[in-house]
Amino acid sequence: MQKRISNLPFHDTPEQAQKLDAVIESLKGQKGAVMPALHQAQEIYGYLPIEVQEKIAKGLDVSLEEVYGVSTFYSQFALTPKGRNHISVCLGTACYVKGADKVLERITQKLGIQPEECTEDGTFSLTACRCIGACGLAPVMTVNDEVYGRLVPEDVDTILAQYMA
Amino acid sequence: MFRSNVLVCGGTGCTSSNSEQIIEKLKEEIKAQGLEKEVNVIRTGCFGLCALGPIMVVYPEGAFYSRVTPEDVPEIVSEHLLKGRIVKRLLYQETVVDDSTTKSLNETTFYAKQMRIALRNCGVINPENIDEYIAQDGYAALGKALTEMTPQEVIDLVLASGLRGRGGAGFPTGRKWQFAAANKAEQKYACCNADEGDPGAFMDRSVLEGDPHSVLEAMAIAGYAIGANQGYIYIRAEYPIAVKRLQIAIEQAREYGLLGKNIFDSGFDFDIDIRLGAGAFVCGEETALMTSIEGKRGEPRVRPPFPAVKGLFGVPTVLNNVETYANIPQIILKGADWFRSIGTEKSPGTKVFALGGKITNTGLVEVPMGTTLREVVEEIGGGVPGGHHFKAAQTGGPSGGCIPAKLIDTPIDYDNLIAIGSMMGSGGLIVMDETTCMVDIAKFFLEFTVDESCGKCTPCRVGTKRLLEILNKITSGNGTLEDIDKMEELCYYIKENSLCGLGQTAPNPVLSTLKYYRDEYEAHVVEHRCPAGACKALTNYSIEADKCKGCTLCARNCPVGAISGSVKQPHVIDTTKCIKCGVCMEKCKFGAVVRK
């Protein structure tokens, strides 16, 4: 999948910068440190702005090209910021067979955004994911850490309404 | 000692339906009733019957409560735990014999035909407590291997057991270990593949969530056998609960001296680290996985050299799947003959399947190899719900194929599945009914592989994309018979020329549906019709005037206002506005809406 890259200006707080420095310090010299560094950086910032990737490359003494190659290869690494509420619709086989595509369609209609996009006001962002392993509850979506299962498209309206206030 | 033990499932399925709140509420209520010294609450791993989650079992009675809500908890505590009266209305109905008796879980159709080796501790012990694992003979196999056996004896035993890799391809585990042991090197690695990427499969996750120590123990045994003292577990970041329990398990094992230096005073050192994946399906392929542990883009390498010669960081490495490892301690303790007595001659042992899709009992089952698909689907799985009929089962995920209804009596093992054009895969088993279009399913899997192809080799990168384009053409009603032939030819080309397992198996969903459902492909092309009614471009909804009572229900529910008509008069669907969502058909009480 083509990755979207953020065009928003990068801001970080001193605490965030400090945390990132600590992460880089703890991983220095370890074999295969780039991925753990990116995972932890994404925990701190919510996504991986190019400035953060530059810092990691410098800190771990690898080229930016290598870091960027890794961050764009894996679907878990986000190069765009997430909305205040992040929606993820499972399109794994079990969910798909049970109509997850219709749930996703309802959400895109409701919010006017496609997967990998964020609403203009920053309230919602949306992704389609592959199997979160809750196949017994298919079809499933998550909003932030909350899981909603056994969905029909109509459920989308009431679920989204809870987060709109 | 506690008077009662309450086991609550803390697997991902049940956690997603609020089992955490149930545990909290239970503890609160138990405290309020002053029972905290008498009743013990334990968070376990997966019971397997995910369709009935959240699940709670109360011992010593063995009362199996299903679909429990936090609101039910006060009643369970005050009635059952305080007064000893089982709350009948919340029991799994299969376990209720009559008003006064219930039967054991193991006698229900879901569990009766199962045999649990890899899952034996799941739903039985608290996975966050190493003492409970040890009480179930945990780490006894490691002790036996280190103190009574030579590394070669361990390898010989695994070879003799006939254990084959549970990740999908079925390569004999003992031979893998033998190769890695034969290559002399200063440093070697024993790794675990927990990158369960096949959508709809969750066996490995359940083992790691329910019984993480069994994998750690087996990795240490593998390390001893091949001469490695470092292990890595590569696990999907999408499995936060499994990651957390693994971390806890590793710390506990280190504390007890079961990982680290000089284990069991044998002079053998072994330690394990976790590496998180980041959502790339190709990383389930062994060489790609090792490249990813090295912190690089997870692209596969050319084999040979095989990992047993030149694997992680360029040294001999053994890589086994979670379920494979979970079998090892039992084999060491009970012997090769015991293991060989289960399953079939060429595929000994059991296999865990994740049942999903159009089936009543979705969940996790472990059956001896050679069990027929019919037993799994109809008996254990409880059949297809909603009055629909079994059409096919899909195994092996994006690398596998479909088993049609006419082959439902096939005994499931590695070789039989390959022979009918599917494969074991990691164990996802998705059931489909007559409303599932086989062309659409092939397209679904191709969309997946196109997304997940790493792009390193051309047959896979470009070939799968061209395949998908042809499938899109067919499902939109623009295909020709020539396209079907072209597609088949392309499938064989991709299989023969791709670099790694992903590309070599990517055309399987197309080939196997073509083999058994060619008529469906032809219906799309020749008659411009989707027999299952799933391909939107080829279906139209209309209302039969003589059946329509004019109740307006369909018009009120249509999301795009495509239905018009006045009360008590036949309604009409405007096909230019219709988005073919099918709501009108679902809502109509008179069967007046038809799909063609």
Q: How far is B19 from chain A (nearest CA, A)?
A: 12
Stretch A2-25: mean pLDDT: 83
Stretch B1-30: mean pLDDT: 92
Does the pLDDT at position B280 exceed 80? yes
Position B534 scores a pLDDT of 87
Rounded CA-CA distance B229/B270 in Å is 4
Position A7 scores a pLDDT of 58
Under the banding of pLDDT at 50, 70 and 90, the label for residue B484 is very high
Q: List chain A residues with CB under 8 Å of B432.
A: 97
For chain B, the structural domain boundaries read: 4-112, 130-340, 350-433, 438-526, 540-595
Does the pLDDT at position A8 exceed 90? no
Query: CB neighbours of B304 closer than 8 A, spacing ≥ 6?
Result: none
Q: Which residue has the higher pLDDT, B95 or B260?
A: B260
Does the pLDDT at position B417 exceed 70? yes
Q: How far is A141 from chain B (nearest CA, A)?
A: 10
Q: How far is A89 from chain B (nearest CA, A)?
A: 13
Stretch A106-135: mean pLDDT: 86
Rounded CA-CA distance A47/A76 in Å is 10
Give the CATH number of domain B438-526; options: 1.10.3720.10, 3.40.50.880, 1.20.1440.230, 3.40.50.10800: 1.20.1440.230
Stretch B207-217: mean pLDDT: 97
Query: CB neighbours of A141 closer than 8 A, spacing ≥ 6?
Result: A87, A88, A89, A90, A103, A107, A147, A148, A151, A156, A159
Q: Which of A2-16, B44-58, B489-503 has the highest mean pLDDT?
A: B489-503
State pLDDT tens for residues A82-98: 888 999 999 888 888 88
Bond preceding residue B127 cis, omega within 30 of 0: no
Position A108 scores a pLDDT of 93
Under the banding of pLDDT at 50, 70 and 90, the label for residue A4 is low
Q: How far is A11 from chain B (nearest CA, A)?
A: 25
Under the banding of pLDDT at 50, 70 and 90, the label for residue B178 is very high
Give the nearest partner residue to B13 out of A38, A69, A136, using CB atoms: A136
Position B1 scores a pLDDT of 77
Q: What is the 3-state secondary structure (H, E, C) of B233-300?
A: EEECCCCHHHHHHHHHHHHHHHHCCCCEEEECCCCEEEEEEEEECCCCHHHHCHHHHHHHHCCCCCCC
Q: What percent of chain B stands above pLDDT 90?
A: 81
Least confident piece of the model among B165-174, B327-336, B558-567:
B558-567
CA triple B414-B389-B396, angle to 5 deg: 25
CB B58 within 8 A of CB B65: yes
CATH for the stretch B350-433: 3.10.20.600
Under the banding of pLDDT at 50, 70 and 90, the label for residue B156 is very high
Nearest CA in chain B to A77: B278
Rounded CA-CA distance B12/B17 in Å is 9
State pLDDT tens for residues B25-34: 999 999 999 9
Q: Where are the alpha helices (DSSP H) in B409-552?
A: 414-419, 438-452, 458-475, 481-497, 501-505, 508-526
State pLDDT tens for residues B418-435: 999 888 888 899 999 998
E strand or H helix at A52: helix A50-60
Position B43 scores a pLDDT of 93
Which value does ipTM take for this structure? 0.81
Q: Which of A6-10, B279-283, B371-375 has the highest mean pLDDT?
A: B371-375
What value does the mean pLDDT of chain B take? 93
Give the nearest partner residue to B296 out of A70, A96, A132, using CB atoms: A70
| B200–A39 C-beta distance less than 8 A | no
Rounded CA-CA distance B231/B319 in Å is 10
| B12–A76 C-beta distance less than 8 A | no
Provide the number of CB pairs (under 8 Å) joining chain A to chain B. 133
| B296–A66 C-beta distance less than 8 A | yes
Give the nearest partner residue to A32 out of B17, B293, B428, using CB atoms: B293
CB atoms within 10 A of CB A2: 6
| A74–B451 C-beta distance less than 8 A | no
Least confident piece of the model among A8-22, B304-318, B494-508:
A8-22
Residue closest to B443 by CA, chosen among B363, B373, B530, B527: B530
Position A85 scores a pLDDT of 92
| A1–B451 C-beta distance less than 8 A | yes
B524, burial (CB in 10 Å: exposed 0-12, middle 13-18, buried 19+): buried
| A94–B430 C-beta distance less than 8 A | yes
CB B352 within 8 A of CB B395: no
Q: How far is B362 from chain A (nearest CA, A)?
A: 5
Position A81 scores a pLDDT of 81
Report the Cα–Cα distance between both ends of chain B, in Å, rounded. Answer: 65
Domain spanning B540-595: CATH 3.30.70.20: yes
Rounded CA-CA distance B463/B282 in Å is 16
Under the banding of pLDDT at 50, 70 and 90, the label for residue B96 is confident
Stretch B354-368: mean pLDDT: 93
State pLDDT tens for residues B126-147: 999 999 999 999 999 999 999 9
Position A3 scores a pLDDT of 67
Q: How far is A83 from chain B (nearest CA, A)?
A: 19
CATH for the stretch B130-340: 3.40.50.11540
**Class of the CATH domain delimited by B4-112:** alpha beta
What is the distance of C-alpha B266 from the center of its chain?
Answer: 37
What is the distance of C-alpha B120 from the center of its chain?
Answer: 16
Does the pLDDT at position B452 exceed 80? yes
Does the pLDDT at position B471 exceed 90? yes
Position A6 scores a pLDDT of 65
B51, burial (CB in 10 Å: exposed 0-12, middle 13-18, buried 19+): buried
Tokens of B515: 């083999």
Does the pLDDT at position A2 exceed 70? no
Residues of A with CB under 8 A from a CB of B: 1, 31-36, 38-39, 66, 69-70, 73-77, 91-94, 96-98, 102, 129-138, 140, 147, 149, 153
Give the nearest partner residue to B53 out of A98, A136, A153, using CB atoms: A136
